[in-house]
Amino acid sequence: MFQETRIAFLYCVSPVHMGTGTTVGGLIDNPIQRERHTEHPMMAGSGIKGAIRHDYWAQGEANRGLLNQLFGPDQSAADHAGAISFGDGQLLAFPVRCAKAGYVYATSPLLLARLRRALGLAKVESDWTIPSADSGECRIVNIDLMTNNKLALEAYELKPQIDPTLKTIAEWLAKNALPQTEHYAYFRKKIEDDLVLLSDDELHYFVVNSTVVEPHVKIDDVSGTAEGGALFYTENLPPESLLFTVLMTSQERYKRGESPENRMDATQIITALVDGKTDWQPLQGRMVQFGGDATTGRGQIVCSIVGGK
């Protein structure tokens, strides 16, 4: 069905709320999307596709024809399917407060194994192996993160071990998962130095308990004070979170009975999306707004795509 595959990395520049609606009886009124079996933060593929489609729709009327060719028709969805598909966004690295360096990019063997599996689908070479980590221990690449031979994350102390194989992974992520412009040089260097491998169990603790939870309250327009009973709490992925998704394309679809001539193939489809076409801005390195609370600056994500070279 799909002839071309890429991996799109999603780097959170602001807090991001990809929500699930409201909960009844929970401490958080508006939680983020999570996988059922791991409780890791995730982003539904439909939400990723919708956010990117809307971003390109906002580029103007001149590109609406190309938009329908790539994503499918807006009004008559039954006419034909789109030629682009996005998988669910899976977590790769999560920012965790550290006694040294401010924060680290925390990952785990499970997260890296998922990425390597996805890279195989996109035929992207990854010449690194995945280290292991036991509970109470971690793998690091930067000795300066240690305090008294311990790594302090939040209120916890772990026994660190310098691991050259993790350094190889960190360097690969710096070259591929973050934008390569000068504006992101600091963050490329930071993920190269401050990537930390935790056990799957300890990574789970942080992704469940260290998200951003913000109180919101409705203000009365007349009095300028808070309305009674209008307090609610919204959960966000923190800035500097890193996720990835599988991006797949097929040849251009068309309505039954129409001519198949002059239709874009899968390579042309993915090139138009990733690298741009005429006035159509490229997705590579582009900032896109995902999820809710756009008017309060939430949901700013920059995209980096690898594969197909």
48-70 residue pLDDT tens: 999 999 998 888 776 777 888 88
Q: Is 160 in the same domain as 259?
A: no
Statement: residue 207 has pLDDT above 60: yes
User: What one-character-per-residue DSSP string does 112-154 give?
Assistant: HHHHHHHHHHTT-----------TTEEEES-GGG-BTTBEEET
Q: 104 in a domain, yes or no? A: yes
Question: Do 253 and 72 meet the contact criterion of CB atoms below 8 Å apart?
Answer: yes
Q: Global pTM?
A: 0.92
Q: Is 259 in the same domain as 192?
A: no
Q: Is 121 in the same domain as 77?
A: no
pLDDT digit string, tens, across residues 104-117: 999 999 999 999 99
Statement: residue 229 has pLDDT above 70: no
Express as a percent the part of the chain with pLDDT over 70. 95
Q: 141 in a domain, yes or no? A: yes
Question: Which residues span the domain enclosing 279?
Answer: 1-18+45-87+237-309
Query: 137-140 and 195-198: which strand pairing?
Result: antiparallel
Express as a percent the part of the chain with pLDDT over 90. 65
Q: Which residue has the higher pLDDT, 57 or 103?
A: 103
Q: 218 in a domain, yes or no? A: no
Q: Is 202 in the same domain as 106?
A: yes
Q: 293 in a domain, yes or no? A: yes
Distance of CA 21 to the CA centre of its chain: 20
DSSP state of 61: G
pLDDT of amino acid 309:
59
pLDDT of amino acid 77:
62
Q: Is 107 in the same domain as 206?
A: yes
pLDDT digit string, tens, across residues 273-291: 998 876 778 999 999 999 9
Give the number of domains in the chain. Answer: 2
Q: Is 81 in the same domain as 102?
A: no
Mean pLDDT lowest among 23-32, 39-48, 161-170: 23-32
Question: Do 139 and 169 meet the contact criterion of CB atoms below 8 Å apart?
Answer: no
Q: Is 97 in the same domain as 205?
A: yes
